[in-house]
Structure 1
Amino acid sequence: MKLVEINRVQSITKKDFVKNYLKPQKPLVIEEFDGNWAAHKKWSLDYMKEMAGDKIVPLYDDRPVHHKDGFNEPHAEMLMSEYVDLLKCEPTKYRIFLWNILKEVPALQKDFSYPDFGIRLLKGVPMLFFGGKDSHTFMHYDIDLANIFHFHFEGEKECILFPQSQNKYLYKVPHAIITHESIDFSNPDFKKWPALEKASGYKTTLKHGEVLYMPEGFWHYMKYKTPGFSMSLRGLARNPKNFAHAAYNIFVMRHFDVLMRKLQGQRWIERKNKKAIVNTNANIGIKE
């Protein structure tokens, strides 16, 4: 894969961000975001344990998709206090995914405010993501193709991004927002996945207090190098094509996929995974 380092700045004005990154849809890392956030000093795994230790949190691992799994259905549950202890004690594949802190722990809202990056941010869905050492997400893009601002806390996280223009090389699963789940994007096997060698994307490693801007519909793979967590704030897609794509995903594609899982069971999942390989290899002249 041809991965270039995401551009980094210590800080940036709204005018420069809009001109150089938001409008041209280029990813960026802001190293010293100054939002007068108490979260920068207060937020740690221990603080989350203190504030939300009695909350039951949904956990996800890296098992392959099964037809019986509901959309974003967790694989396990645990008290936040127990989960933080697990993260700090030993490596675990369990991650917290899309945890709405306004709904679960309203007091945390006092620790941050919504920054003005030149785009209106949705204020009802600040989402937290937690992971242990070496846990990772599948390569995916968000169903709403939002503009995402990913604020990282504690530890380090490896991030790999691709624009939608690289779909033909990524082994995208049809009727889904993920690539083939067998691919290890942190160490890909190019003999098994030859088209990946032609894919061009971006990479970075986030540290505490840094912000990653991910443009509309960008694929992203996240791997925790140490236990840590992040918060995502999002703004709706501004490009009409992307907005329409998001509407299709939410109102048509997702429901069609759920229906086919009910009708065909695991055969539907296996058929899609096979199609991802056949379609992508055909793009580079390999026929099955």
Structure 2
Amino acid sequence: MAPFMFIGGEGSVTRNHIDIDMSHVFITQFQGIKHIWLFPWEQSDLLYKLPYNFHSLANVKEPDFDEFPGLKYINGYEAVISPGETLYIPSGWWHYIQYETEGYSVSVRALPSSWLEKWRGFKNMVIIRNFDNLMRNIFKDRWFRHKVKAARSRAEKAIKKQKSFQI
């Protein structure tokens, strides 16, 4: 387990992301109030996950359904934690965090128990991140544009899948 401290001012945000190492996270609020939105890994395409990256394009707090129609189909959780409260974020879950007030928290991370999640974390840290960095250095903005196009294409496929379940 490795603890991390997070400090933020009122209104500051951490954009929607998954943790690169695929850890389970227990986040305890010590001062201030933090608002957290959570989404399962399976909704990555609807969240416009950037390939070879651990962030999504869309703002889940203030969704633009015209630009990101996949957000109409996401199902997640919303939590507000205050001093003395702890929130568990499972391995691979997306989270968007906003400080409602200035404050700080400590998160304790634990590696996942499944070998699949451990492999994903290792692959993300050693292979995926380095590949993405290399491609960004070589292709610069062209690489980012390619990833945005791929994220939008995956979202369109995921939307079609969602629509096929509706009657």
Could you tell me the TM-score, scaled by structure 1's length?
0.54
SS at match of 1:169: coil
8 Å CA contact retained: 1:158, 1:224: yes
**Structure 1 residue 150 corresponds to structure 2 residue 27:** yes
- Asked whether the 8 Å contact 1:162–1:202 carries over to 2, the reply is yes
After TM superposition, list the pairs within 5 Å mapping 1:124-203 onto structure 2: 125-180=2-57, 183-203=58-78
Structure 1 position 243 matched with structure 2 position 122: no
Deviations 1:49-100 (A, max 9, x none): xxxxxxxxxxxxxxxxxxxxxxxxxxxxxxxxxxxxxxxxxxxxxxxxxxxx
User: What is the distance in 2 between the residues matched to 1:168 and 1:278?
Assistant: 9
Deviations 1:91-112 (A, max 9, x none): xxxxxxxxxxxxxxxxxxxxxx
Structure 1 runs not aligned, ≥5 long: 1-121
Q: Percent identity?
A: 36
Contact 2:25–2:88 at 8 Å: present in 1 too?
Answer: yes
Partner Cα distance (2:75, 2:14) in 1: 19
Q: 1:220 aligns with which of 92, 95, 105?
A: 95
Give the letter aligned to residue 172 of structure 1: K
How far apart in 1 are the matches of 2:156 and 2:38?
21
What do residues 10-44 of structure 1 show as CA deviations (whole Å, max 9, x unaligned)? xxxxxxxxxxxxxxxxxxxxxxxxxxxxxxxxxxx
More strand by share: 2
Instruction: Name 1:102's counterpart in structure 2.
Output: none
Distance 1:156 1:259 in 2: 38
Q: List 4+ stretches of structure 1 deviating above 6 A.
A: none
- SS for the counterpart of 2:44 is helix
Residue aligned with 2:5, SS: strand
**Pairwise CA distance, 1:149:** 0.6
Tell me by how many angstroms 1:203 deviates.
0.8
Looking at structure 1, the residues matched to 16 and 33 of structure 2 have their Cα atoms a distance apart, in angstroms, of 18
Paired with 1:240 and 1:160, the residues of 2 have a C-alpha distance of 27
Give TM-score, length-normalised by structure 2: 0.91
Instruction: Report SS of the residue matched to 1:200.
Output: coil
Distance 1:205 1:134 in 2: 14
On the 8 A contact 1:144/1:237 being kept in 2, the answer is no
CA apart distance, 1:274:
2.4
Q: How does 1:44-59 map to 2 (within 5 A)?
A: none
Structure-1 separation of matches of 2:107 and 2:145: 32
Q: Secondary structure at the match of 1:232?
A: strand
Aligned partner of 1:207 in structure 2 is 82
Q: Which amino acid aligns with 1:264?
A: F
Compute the displacement of 1:194 (Å).
0.9
Name the SS of the counterpart of 1:149 in structure 2. Answer: strand
Point out where structure 2 has 5 or more consecutive residues left out of the alignment: 162-167
Greater RCO, CA 8 A, separation 6+: 2
**Aligned pair partner of 2:145 in 248, 253, 270:** 270
Aligned to 1:283: 158
Bigger radius of gyration among the two: 1
